[in-house]
Amino acid sequence: MSLDLPPVAPAVTAELVQGLTPRLRKRLDAGVTKLAGRPSVRDGDTVRIAVDGDTHLELHAPGGTVTSTDAIRCGCLLAPDCLHRAAAASAAPIADSEPDSDSDSEPASQSMPDAAPAPVGQDASDPPRTPAASASKTISTDAQPTSPAEPETPTPDQRAAAQAMYDAAAAVLEAGTDGAGAVLQAELLRAAHTARISGLPRIAASAVSVVTQLRAARGAEPAYRLSELTAALRDVLGTAHRLPGSTGPELASLRGTARQPYTPDGSLRLYGLFSEPVLTATGYAGAVTWTADAEGRLYTVSDVVPGGSGRAVGAADRAIRIGDTALTHRELSRAGLAVSGATVSPTGRLGAGAGVRAVRASGAAWRADPLADLWALPVAEQVARALTGGDGLLFLDVTLTGTVREAAGDCLLADCDGLTLRLAAAHDHPALPYRENLRLLSDAPGTRLRVVARLDPSPVPRALLLAADHPCDPGVHVDLGLDRLQHADLPAPAMVPAGSPPTPDEAPLHLLRRRVHQAASAGRRVLAFPGDSATDSRRLGRYGFACAGDLLDELHSAAADRSRDVFGRLVPADVNRFAHAWLAAAHYTEEVDRSLCAAAWGADPALPPSP
């Protein structure tokens, strides 16, 4: 969308679309496209759009966000129930329903890289282990026995909200990206608003992510990824399906939390690791700097707010917002930080409250203590940690061996303790230098590097490269999403064995995964065409994936299930059956991918990582 519009709250968009007549709803997508080509002017908190020579549309966004329907005004004769107001709301970015106005709390649903997990042995959501809590376990034998408390169950409002969310998401899946226009998006946003006010922030955030991905797909935006749309849609349908029957801890997990509280953590001595740009399809941009203490616990300093690629590129040179320090993100990634009165979120993000003090301190090289210990942990244990809810980061020593062609482009091949590893770009946006740096490193086979990467679950060992040693100076590192390597930075070519490493014989799970992605993209109809899935099912069975073959058959059968009434007319398709079949297939592929990933790395995802 070319218009520079302020973010609009999901409830505002849903209400404006709901107020349209059926005739205007049919014209809404065309109205959004037409509005994109009209000139606009921003004056402070107001954006004015010239609909035509005599009609103007205004969006008032005090504080930067449109939070009510009255804030969108149109001068046409059909206002306030006109198409223009709904089209403007549908074209604008989706606002965060919980703006992060407090420096000591953050939206739990905000899309940014996860940070360090809670300390071993204690979940982030557990209450503090106080002496009073321990003393409560010593109860007098004279006390009357008490009945065990009934496990908490969802409220009627939450059950209704989950059902409404499931219905809205199933309708989106039925239509696919091409058919999920502004009307279906508004229904999903309405369900997200209902879920949020019912105390279900997790599913509400996932629904907003689905709408953002749909808009990116329909607008052919470079940030759109079909895999991300599929994952968000799977999370919405899966959470809505499980929530009505959940209790206790499972219910708490499915509900989620609207904001992550910051808890005191005393004084910290941190060492910079690396910085990475953040640019998400949900409209956030900025930078995150990763640091570690002497025990290897990871902490992040984040500056991520609504924005585009320009902000992602420039945020690294902004001063961090902790205490009075003047360090930028780029500088902190190579220096250190001494923090007093620190506050930390459950994901390891450092708070910037009024009581926090921070000053610059000396840093440490990756190959020096205490950071070198991060690379000492066996790779299999690091992967197990990433697969069991860790931060996803891998600290690896590799030797570059060549390149391999993938559907998304070339990626580096590297040897990691005898394991052939694929290192791919962490982001494909042309404003970020990830892809260029990987292409340059491919000209230096035989180079040994110490790298930081993020695990990318795949049947073959694969990770997204974030930072690496400088090829000619192991004493410094390069943030591959921010720094640009030059040919002069490369060492002389080393001799490497001729030939390419063998390609492993991968299990044909792509036969099911491809159908899952096709349905998310093109809707039910793409799987409803006449055809026979028996060949693919038999092939899956030969590899030991009989369940995958059954799921594939059911997915095709549910898509093609169209019965007729007594007059021979086609009745509406069973959307619920198709959504259930798709959800089962999507969940299955996710779990099998996780297991195959663990096997490829020699890890055991069922075992917790070592302390």
pLDDT given for residue 200 in this prediction: 95
The CA-CA-CA angle for residues 411, 381, 588, to 5°, reads: 70
Mean pLDDT across the stretch 380-394? Answer: 89
279-289 average pLDDT score: 83
Residue whose C-alpha is closest to residue 388's, from 85, 147, 604: 604
Closest by CA to 99, choosing from 279, 277, 284, 232, is 284
Is the pLDDT confidence value at 552 over 80? yes
Residue 24 in contact with residue 30, Cβ under 8 Å?
A: no
Q: In the structure, what pLDDT confidence band is assigned to residue 141 with cuts at 50, 70 and 90?
A: very low
Structure tokens at 3: 């218009």
* Mean pLDDT, the chain, whole residue set: 84
Q: For the chain, list the domains and their CATH numbers.
A: 10-91 (no CATH), 156-255 (no CATH), 260-361 (2.40.50), 373-489 (2.40.50), 510-601 (no CATH)
Which residues touch 46 (CB under 8 Å, ≥6 apart)? Answer: 58, 59, 60, 61
C-alpha dist (Å) from residue 221 to 216, 218, 362: 5, 8, 42
For the segment 443-466, the average pLDDT, to the nearest whole number, is 92
- Give the separation between CA 549 and CA 540, rounded to whole angstroms: 6
What is the reported pLDDT for 123?
32
Q: Give me the pLDDT at residue 353, please.
A: 81
Closest CA to 425 of 458, 451, 453: 453
Q: How is 132-158 classified by DSSP, letter by letter?
A: HHHHTT---TTSPP-PPPPPP---HHH
**Region 76-81: what's the mean pLDDT?**
88
Q: Give per-residue pLDDT as tens, 204-230.
A: 999 999 999 999 899 888 778 898 899
* pLDDT for the residue numbered 117: 32
Write the CB contacts of 243 (distance below 8 Å, at least 6 apart in sequence).
154, 158, 159, 162, 200, 203, 251, 254, 255
Compute the average pLDDT of residues 30-39: 88
Question: Residue 425 is which amino acid?
Answer: A
Of 318 and 4, which is predicted with more confidence? 318
Q: What percent of the chain has pLDDT over 90?
A: 54
Instruction: Indicate whether 488 pLDDT > 70.
Output: yes
pLDDT band at 495 (very low <50, low <70, confident <90, very high): low
Pick the closest to residue 184 from 174, 193, 172, 195 (CA basis): 172
Q: What is the pLDDT of residue 366?
A: 95
pLDDT at 249 over 80: yes
Q: What is the pLDDT of residue 322?
A: 85
Give the pLDDT confidence of 290-332 residue by residue, as tens digits: 999 999 999 999 998 877 888 898 988 999 888 778 899 999 9
- Enter the DSSP assignment of 570: B
Average pLDDT, stretch 114-119? 32
Cα–chain-centroid distance for residue 371? 28
* pLDDT higher than 60, residue 354: yes
- Confidence at residue 282, expressed as pLDDT on a 0 to 100 scale: 65
User: What pLDDT was estimated at residue 497?
Assistant: 52
pLDDT for res 132: 31
More confident residue, 37 or 431: 431
Considering only the C-alpha atoms of the chain, give the largest distance between any 2 of them, rounded to a whole number of Å.
85
Whether the predicted pLDDT of 108 surpasses 50: no
Distance (Å, whole) CA 194 – CA 158: 9
CB distance 583 to 241 below 8 Å: yes
Q: How far apart are CA 325 and CA 82, in angstroms?
A: 51
- The larger pLDDT score, comparing residue 526 to residue 121, is at 526
- The pTM is what? 0.81
Neighbours of 407 (CB within 10 A): 4
- Output the pLDDT for position 301: 93
Q: Cα angle at 601 between 597 and 607, to 5 degrees?
A: 80
What is the pLDDT, as a whole number, of residue 86?
A: 95
In this prediction, residue 605 carries a pLDDT of 62
| Cα end-to-end distance, the chain, whole Å | 48
| Residue that has been written with the tokens 């585009």 in this structure | 308
- Identity of the residue numbered 19: G
- Give the tens place of pLDDT for each residue, 322-349: 877 889 999 999 999 999 999 998 889 9
